[in-house]
A = this chain, B = another copy of it.
Amino acid sequence: MQKTCETRSREHLEALHWRYATKKFDPSRQLTEKQLSGLLEAVRLSPSSYGLQPYKILVVTDPELRRQIQAASWNQSQVTEASHLLIFAHRTDFGPELIDSYLDEVAETRGTAREALAGYGEFMKSKLLGQSPEQKASWSARQAYIALGTLLSAASEFRIDVCPMEGFEPARVNQILGLDAQHLSAVLLAPVGFRSEADATRLNPKVRRSHESLFAYL
């Protein structure tokens, strides 16, 4: 049965109301394989500039690694107590291979001759590769933030909790995970799992700016 747009809209807004930045996870509750794979598939489908997805997502379960990362994250308990820890790491530097590997996927998925994509490849390269290293890193980090938005919306639909975190020491996390050598840098942490009954903040009404202060009509 086809759901009406109105039903979809109501349900999705309910989901966004349900979510909150979970401060305390229930350490006894783990995501099932199916829940994890659904969540990661949503992240994989996230939009990004030209579809280039200039980042990697690390799925960390190793307890010792998570203890080390927790120490580099102002000892926040979510890092070790959530079911899984996702780390978004953006590309700090890239060359033509970022675009070429994407074009390989296009050719494969759409059955297009690789040569037919050369012109489009040159166009993307002209836009992206002339940037300074700082501009490249800024652009790729922003794409990771879209992916975070996609994760948070999907998790709310699936009733899975997330605590999006910018508050950690990227240089230390990069060192723990050996990311520098891969031209990657951790930009966002996202512990995922299920809220604890003991998290009093789960009862706080959601605070958002008013419609009037956030939107302007022109």
Contact = CB atoms under 8 A, between A and B. Distances in A.
A32 to B, nearest CB: 9
Contacts of A148: 146, 149
A217 B45 contact: no
A106 interface: yes
Contact of A149 (B16, B35, B150): B150
Nearest to A46: B149
A158 B9 contact: yes
B102 A59 contact: no
A217 B59 contact: yes
Interface string A128-162: 00000000001001110111111011100111000
A113 interface: no
A216 interface: yes
A40 B215 contact: yes
Given A102-B207, A208-B44, A215 B159 contact: no
A88 to B, nearest CB: 11
Number of copies: 2
A38 B65 CA distance: 41
A34 to B, nearest CB: 7
Contact of A150 (B5, B153, B216): B153
A212 to B, nearest CB: 11
Contact of A154 (B12, B60, B214): B12
A59 B51 CA distance: 25
Interface string A47-69: 10101010011111110010000
B210 A59 contact: no
B209 A53 contact: yes
Interface of A: 3, 5-6, 8-9, 11-13, 16-17, 19, 21, 34-35, 38, 40-47, 49, 51, 53, 56-62, 65, 101-102, 105-106, 109-110, 138, 141-143, 145-150, 152-154, 157-159, 164, 166, 177, 204-211, 213-218
The 6 closest A-B pairs by CB, nearest first: A149-B149, A153-B153, A145-B145, A9-B38, A16-B45, A146-B149
